[in-house]
Structure 1
Amino acid sequence: MRIFEGSGVALVTPMKADGAVDYKKLEELVEWQISEGTDAIIACGTTGEASTLANDEHIAVIEAVVKKADGRVPVIAGTGVNDTQHAIELSTGAEKVGADALLIVTPYYNKASDEGLFLHYQKIAQSVKLPIILYSVASRTNMNIAPEMVKRLAEIPNVVAIKEASGNISQIAEIARIMPEDFTIYSGNDDQVLPIMALGGRGSISTIANIAPRQTHELTQALLDGDFPLAKDLQLAQLPLIHSIFFEVNPIPVKTGVGLLGKIEPNFRLPLSAAKAETVEGLKKEMTAYGLEVAK
């Protein structure tokens, strides 16, 4: 059984001016996402600034999302780091507070050999009973998961899916070709949802869903329904907005965009800093053109 199909949002983590997690706003975002049709919520991913959260905060954010979602949609916890033991601690903690699945990014900075990568995932998988989504995003980690390694990792019983953010459609096509039907591919790039799902992907783990959750759900649903003409129109209509949320390093623009909707105060923890003025103006322009209501 798949963890989810459709649109999963890689949720931002609201913070107060002093940097503390704003749990009230976090709960409000979860409720809004569910009401807009989002099919799954990913807590403590890259977009959620997980790398700046202390262990207790990391687990507390996951727990808050789990409690607010209350079983209405799956909650997937980002628990991947570049220290296997640390990843195990976060993964077992997420399991204890009720997460439905884990999103595990490849080791970054120290990287790993092929054998080290396999053992990293194997040790984490053996520490929990939860299903695991591999996360391949070489632009951030400098470490790709090649198709043959995906196939090997999927031999681990609870490794059931991959978030593919390599940007390499040929690689994704090869993964789709060699993997069994019950292994799920999710798009990790908002501008590639259509081609990845056309190759057999079953949804997206999305950044843009933070500001356009209903529209992103509609895009993935059109693809699940096989309505490719509608999906093409929806995907192309999103492109200018997608480009605007990557004017600067993620999640600076998209979190700023959530602030422009009036949902949160767009505060960050260093080394992330406030969006540049030109980023804000570009966001306002593209959000308005897309039909989103920017708060005055």
Structure 2
Amino acid sequence: MANPQWKGVYPALLTPFHADESIDEAMFIKNLRAQIDAGVDGVIIGGSLGEASTLLNEEKIQLLQVAKKTAGPDFPIILNIAESTTKAAVAFAKAATGAGADGFMLLPPMRYKSDDEETVTYFKAVANATPRSIMIYNNPVDYKIEVTLDMFASLAACENIQAVKESTRDVSNVTRMKNRFGDRFKILCGVDTLALEELCLGADGWIAGLVDAFPRETVAIYRLIKAGRLAEALSIYRWFLPVLELDIHPKLVQYIKVAATLTDIGSPHVRAPRLPLQEEELYRVTKIVEDALACRPQLPDYLSIN
């Protein structure tokens, strides 16, 4: 088992499909190997970008097992838990723990907008069902439930709740969390277009999206910032920003799959109800990525940075 340290770059992996919507294991492995070679610190399976809403839990376990076989025992593989009931979330946490998951990203209850007490109780029930490390996904913009500082204070009693994916879009939350809790919770930015700012404010890591198409550039930005080489990181980030903005659109899955296809580590196929991009929209997204590829920056030897 690889214990996640919750720092560095963790790609929210895409789930590649064939045209018939079956899982494309070969492409999944190709992208995973590109991420590992680029220097990421772990990966997340079955998140929003992984089309969690269209995956069976059995398929998430399938991808977990493929990833563990490909990456080896010392590389953290994190599974996403996104369920509508506490019973289902607890059952999946237990099953995935038994199947070898190294940790979990945990969303609030789906569909029902639980109040603060209900949300905390749900998180605690899942945390008590597994010894594995857990990162809470705080994304009130998309999931309508905010995990407040007082809620995190209640969750601090659960030792295996160790991190937060910070996706509130309020960069000040990094400082609020650090002021209130010190290093009790690792903080990982979950919005590509805010990553540089939050890393500079002290975030410990980056749950990245466009890393699925550009792994080396993503890891380079992170390592350069943490090494204090901000000017170099900023130069890459400014080049990257038009592409990173594909991460903050309702069709981020389709957009990032187009990007990964153009960098030859992905495919455009999605599962219904999502539909592939067509005509003007496909042209627009393709042009954004192709414009970036036409002036792709030369990267420093970022892998040598400790």
Q: TM-score, normalised by structure 1?
A: 0.92
Aligned to 2:15: 13
- Uncovered stretches (5+) of structure 1, i.e. residues with no partner: none
- In the TM superposition, what are the counterparts of 1:42-121 in structure 2 within 5 Å? 42-121=44-123
**Greater CA deviation, 173-182 or 130-139?**
173-182
d(CA) in 2 for partners of 1:222, 1:152: 35
- Structure 2 residue 65 is matched with structure 1 residue 29: no
d(CA) in 2 for partners of 1:132, 1:292: 39
What displacement does 1:182 show? 4.0
Aligned to 1:191: 193
What displacement does 1:293 show? 9.9
Conserved? CA contact 1:4–1:74, under 8 Å = no
Aligned to 1:172: 174
Aligned to 2:304: none
Conserved? CA contact 2:34–2:265, under 8 Å = no
Conserved? CA contact 1:108–1:143, under 8 Å = no
SS of residue paired to 1:285: helix
How many residue pairs are counted as aligned between the two chains? 294
d(CA) in 2 for partners of 1:173, 1:248: 28
Aligned to 1:260: 262
Deviations 1:183-210 (A, max 9, x none): 2000000011122112221110010100
What one-letter code is carried by the residue in structure 1 that aligns with 2:38? E
What displacement does 1:173 show? 2.3
Conserved? CA contact 2:213–2:266, under 8 Å = no
SS of residue paired to 2:222: helix
What displacement does 1:170 show? 2.5
SS of residue paired to 1:78: strand
Conserved? CA contact 1:8–1:38, under 8 Å = yes
- In the TM superposition, what are the counterparts of 1:199-238 in structure 2 within 5 Å? 199-238=201-240
Deviations 1:99-126 (A, max 9, x none): 2110001223202121111110110000
Conserved? CA contact 1:244–1:279, under 8 Å = no
Q: Percent identity?
A: 24
Aligned to 1:144: 146
SS of residue paired to 1:134: strand
Q: TM-score, normalised by structure 2?
A: 0.90
What displacement does 1:240 show? 0.7
What displacement does 1:211 show? 0.6
d(CA) in 1 for partners of 2:104, 2:155: 15
d(CA) in 2 for partners of 1:282, 1:244: 11
Change (3 A) 1:76 1:293: farther
SS of residue paired to 2:252: coil
d(CA) in 2 for partners of 1:84, 1:78: 14
d(CA) in 1 for partners of 2:179, 2:128: 27
Deviations 1:224-253 (A, max 9, x none): 212222222222221111124545522111
What displacement does 1:283 show? 2.8
SS of residue paired to 1:102: strand
Conserved? CA contact 1:208–1:242, under 8 Å = yes
**Greater CA deviation, 6-15 or 59-68?**
59-68
What one-letter code is carried by the residue in structure 2 that aligns with 1:85? K
What displacement does 1:72 show? 4.8
Change (3 A) 1:29 1:148: same
Aligned to 2:284: 282
d(CA) in 1 for partners of 2:258, 2:92: 28
What displacement does 1:288 show? 2.6
**Pairwise CA RMSD:** 2.0
SS of residue paired to 1:132: strand
SS of residue paired to 1:30: helix
Aligned to 2:301: none
**Greater CA deviation, 185-194 or 71-80?**
71-80
SS of residue paired to 1:68: helix
SS of residue paired to 1:268: coil
